[in-house]
Structure 1
Amino acid sequence: MVVIFAVLFILLAILNIFFPAMGWHMRYGWMVKGDSGPSEAYLIMSRITSVIVLIIFFLFFLPSMFG
Structure 2
Amino acid sequence: MVIFAILFMLIAILNIFFPAMGWHMRYGWMVQGESEPSDAYLLMSRISSVIVLIVFLLFFLPIIFS
Interval of TM-score (by shorter of Structure 1 and Structure 2): over 0.9
Aligned residue for 1:25?
Answer: 24
Partners of 1:66 and 1:27 in 2: how far apart?
33
1:38 shift after superposition: 0.2
Unaligned 5+ segments in structure 1 are: none
For normalisation by structure 1, the TM-score amounts to: 0.96
1:53 aligns with 2:52: yes
**Alignment length (residue pairs):** 66
Partners of 2:57 and 2:13 in 1: how far apart?
13
1:14 shift after superposition: 0.3
Q: Which amino acid aligns with 2:5?
A: A
Q: Deviations over 1:19-64 (max 9, x none)?
A: 0000000000000011101000000000000000000000000011
Q: Which has the higher contact order (CA 8 A, sep 6+)?
A: 2
Partners of 2:65 and 2:6 in 1: how far apart?
14
What is the identity percentage for the equivalent residue pairs of Structure 1 and Structure 2? 77
Unaligned 5+ segments in structure 2 are: none
Aligned residue for 2:37?
Answer: 38
